[in-house]
Structure 1
């Protein structure tokens, strides 16, 4: 396991026990069995580590949702969307609890910008989903429906964050599919207008260029051990420089890296890039 990945995984365990503020860099390095020098080769500070963890979880979350929205048949899409979201909440509930509990201490301007950026990407995925499922019949209320779906997410996530209950994800997803369909069919009075959406929008944090994707791939190649994912990254890097593969081969390479936790974001960026250029 590479040191950066080790530090992130062990830090999550400590943060879950002690919180962000109470956990020191010295405790993290002791827990990892590494020197402080090794820590600072990966992260400049504890704050940078926290931001990296948030990036890691949000990148996986957004890339998973984007893949579901673009690759699931219409009749199963809404169910798979909700099921995946709450499966993620269940899996990462400890980290989410820490983030909510200590947000007053940890929410600086940089973090707020990051969260707004990911929120924008998530809004885009939801809007794409509802327009695909309901089309013109929800044109007037499409933004309200996006906000309602996000409201369902937030409210029901409390069951995972604050109550230690055995939850049936299948039933929960079915229930929210029914509620969403009812809103889409019966709601008639819009509140969120096009003008309001434009006011709420902010510039994206960073334009994603081919050069940026290449840099990210090169960094991952250096960090990763020999594997099919690393071989796929090498081929995808070559494809960006000099396209020779068919779309089918590119899709196969993206599938090879899609489920690797440290490659999901690259797969997400490449899917969107090739969707625009092909």
Structure 2
């Protein structure tokens, strides 16, 4: 992302956290960013568009840090714990801004923001699903979606204490505690044999149709569409390698994660890179 754009976004985060979205003017953002109004409107059509870009920037930043953990030589459970810690750190770092979102009723809830929230929620649930499968194996497949939503809810309960009540925790110990609680959750599902309420059909209702890619066939289809539509040679080469690997009987993790690392350099493919890493963590 252009550094001037990043500068505007980061100053906007600070101002929105201090004053609220509706009470912060474009002029104040311009002054804090030390640019002209004309320069602001070269990057953003409106303050509403800036808000959407701010959410995207925050989400990409978190995904980049999570993806960095993916490349570490850790077992699945250790990797999950480390990535939970990163998630908690990133949310806690922007505590004031998140409080502003909760308290202020004037934030525009337009179609773009709604789509972003649905996409982010789906990505989070998929993140938990793939980690749980990596830790506990395919035997949990019947109830993995429900377990993923439960883990997401467990994390949210702790984050409410951090964000709303300003309770201080050791983030690694908190992440480790959540991971240990998941052991009990999975054991309970296995022993009780209760039919899950949250199934794949429920998840599909929560997911934007353009982003419904929770199996490898969906990912492969998306990659093939990109191969046809993106003319950039470096992208085409990366996509061709990924397609070849995913079509092979034994896809090589090191190749796929390497190609995902290359893809995430392009903002439009950050989410796709994260999904690929999630499947081959």
**In which range does the TM-score fall when normalised by the shorter chain?**
0.7 to 0.9
CA 1:249–1:82: 2 relative to 1, 3 Å = closer
Structure 1 runs (4+) deviating above 6 angstroms are 247-254, 273-276
The residue that corresponds to 1:143 in the other structure is: 145
Structure 2 partner of 1:186: 188
Structure 2 match to 1:3 = 4
Do 2:118 and 2:206's aligned partners in 1 also have CA atoms closer than 8 Å?
A: no
Aligned length: 253
- 8 A contact 1:236–1:253 mirrored in 2: no
CA drift of 1:37 comes to 0.6
Aligned residue for 2:19? 18
Scaled by the length of structure 2, the TM-score of the pair is: 0.74
| Contact 1:62/1:122, CA 8 A, preserved across alignment | no
- What is the rounded CA distance, in whole Å, between the counterparts of 2:277 and 2:179 in structure 1? 31
Q: Does 1:210 align with 2:226?
A: yes
CA gap of 1:120–1:143, structure 2 versus 1, over 3 A, is: same
Structure 1, residues 211-233: CA drift from partner, whole Å, max 9, x if none? 79968xx8xxxxxxxxxxxxxxx
d(CA) in 2 for partners of 1:82 and 1:211?
33
- The Cα of 1:179 is off from its aligned counterpart by 0.8
The structure-2 alpha-carbon separation of the partners of 1:205 and 1:79, relative to structure 1 and needing over 3 Å to count, comes to closer
The 1-side partners of 2:100 and 2:18 are apart by 9
C-alpha distance in 1 between matches for 2:160 and 2:111:
26
In the TM superposition, what is the alpha-carbon distance from 1:193 to its structure 2 partner? 2.8
Q: CA deviation at 1:151?
A: 0.2
Tell me the CA shift for residue 266 of structure 1. 4.4
CA gap of 1:263–1:199, structure 2 versus 1, over 3 A, is closer
After superposition, the Cα gap between the structure-2 partners of 1:39 and 1:211, relative to the gap in structure 1 and judged at 3 Å, is farther
With 169-178 and 96-105 compared, the bigger mean Cα shift is at 96-105
Cα deviation, 1:182-219, whole Å, max 9, x if unaligned, reads: 0011223222134333433330259675379968xx8x
- What's 2:45 paired with? 44
Report if aligned partners of 1:210, 1:240 keep a CA contact under 8 Å in 2.
no
Aligned mate of 2:129, from 116, 127, 130:
127
Query: Runs of 5+ in structure 2 lacking a partner?
Result: 213-221, 242-251
Q: Deviations over 1:32-67 (max 9, x none)?
A: 221111110010000000000001111233454456
CA distance in 2: counterparts of 1:63 and 1:201, whole angstroms: 22
Structure 1 residue 157: deviation in Å?
0.7
Cα contact 2:263–2:273 (8 A) shared by 1: no
- Asked if 1:96 is matched to 2:106, the reply is no
Tell me the CA shift for residue 129 of structure 1: 1.2
Note the alpha carbon deviations across 1:104-132, whole angstroms, 9 max, x for none.
Answer: 53222220111101222222222111112
Paired residues of 1:29 and 1:35 also in contact (CA < 8 A): yes
Structure 1: gaps of 5 or more residues: 219-234
Question: Take 1:64 and 1:37, find their aligned partners in 2: how far apart are those partners?
Answer: 33
Q: What is the alpha-carbon root mean square deviation over aligned residues?
A: 3.7
